[in-house]
Chains A and B, each alone.
Chain A
Amino acid sequence: MTSNTPVETPKARDDAANWAVPAGRLRVGEVPPGAVNLNVAGRRLVGPVQGFGQLWQKTYRVRLDGIAITPPDVIREWKANYGVFWPKGNHFYAPQGGIRPGVVVLINGESLGGVEVSTGIEVIYADDESFTFMNAEGHPAAGIVTFSAARDEHGVSAQVQVLIRADDPFYDVMLPIYGHRFEDQMWTKTLVALAAHFGAQGDVTVERVCVDRRRNWSQAKNIWRNAAIRSGFYMFGAPIRWVRRHTARAKG
């Protein structure tokens, strides 16, 4: 019972430096001006195993044919300008050292109802041709997102591949109403912006595969750390915090 199949894979034998070291709980360094650090410090990472909803693999790809670039060129520019390629209204607070293994990044993103969701990711893997994020507890999606570039006989292409479950029942209900559309727009616009950066027309292809239709009911408890709900409470509590600050100042 043997299967021996040669396959095309990127080669990197000594890959220890490409991976983050597990730290248990996330630690956030200096919080950049304007960033809200609500649901990241002290949280753990969540992969597809820890999520609640159906498991989806979605692949977004754009071709960069006819441009004199290599996959490492694409990844270098992508890492350097990652937040710039995001759609307006979403903020990726990349640290000064850039995207490298072990870095924790704060994200403040738009969501339904005008609530700015504060969450984050950790860069768990990065090499010359790809990098991978894993999401923090409370993020709408439990899973991993891999950004890569590759060359084939036609030229170079850039790709975003997500392997995710909705993190809790709230996000799971929101996924068909809003989440899938939001995610599709997010990565399509990102790839269009990346392609435009290299002077290419961005025709993005999308493949969606539901890998597991079942829900992990044992993970329904994840709702207690839901970043959107917590960010909503934080936002609506702003007037109370303002009054408290001014009362304390008046007393002091």
Chain B
Amino acid sequence: MTTATTTTTADRIDERTIVIRVRGDVTAASEQPLMAAYSQAGEKTRTIVLDFSGLDYMNSGGIGLLVTLLVRANRQKQKLLACGLNEHYKQIFELTRLDEAIGIHDTEAAAVAAAKA
């Protein structure tokens, strides 16, 4: 075990959309930073875009964490989208069938446009 850093930044695009930029690793140990960023969303937010362009590593614990985030978002009637995934992690979303619940877009612009559509 070595120390790794999970960094999240939440940027509000408009009243209904925020982008959570994830950098570093996403594992089961990333719950605190990811949920802290999600807590910025607020009641009026309808779409949360997870920007994974800074993602270094994700394991199955990270997949479990995304499922938990998805449940919380659905409870608030919010849509979860992802962007910036490389081909490897797109495959992992497909393997775990997370792509059926989290819409995947190549770029943040595409995800934000989909959120507004």
CA distance A127 to B1 in the complex (A): 13
Contact between B97 and A46 (Cβ–Cβ < 8 Å)?
yes
- Whether A144 lies near B63 (C-beta < 8 A) is yes
Which residues of A in the span 42-81 have a Cβ within 8 Å of any Cβ on B?
A: 44-50, 55, 57
Interface size for B (C-beta < 8 A) is 45
- Bound-state CA distance A3–B95 (Å) is 29
Q: Which residues of B contact A39 (CB under 8 A)?
A: none
Q: Could you say which of A8, A21, A47, A212 contacts B91, with CB atoms under 8 Å apart?
A: A21
**Chain B CB within 8 A of A9 CB:** yes
A20→B71 CA distance, assembly (Å)? 25
Residue from B28, B56, B68, B97 having most chain A Cβ neighbours under 10 A = B97
Contact of A9 with B100 in the complex, beta carbons under 8 Å = no
Chain A interface residues (CB < 8 Å from chain B): 1-13, 15-16, 18-22, 44-50, 55, 57, 124-125, 127, 130, 132, 134, 144, 146, 150-151, 161, 163, 211-212, 214
Q: List 14 A-B contacts (CB under 8 A).
A: A1-B37, A2-B8, A3-B9, A3-B36, A5-B5, A5-B33, A5-B36, A7-B30, A47-B96, A47-B98, A49-B100, A57-B68, A144-B64, A211-B68
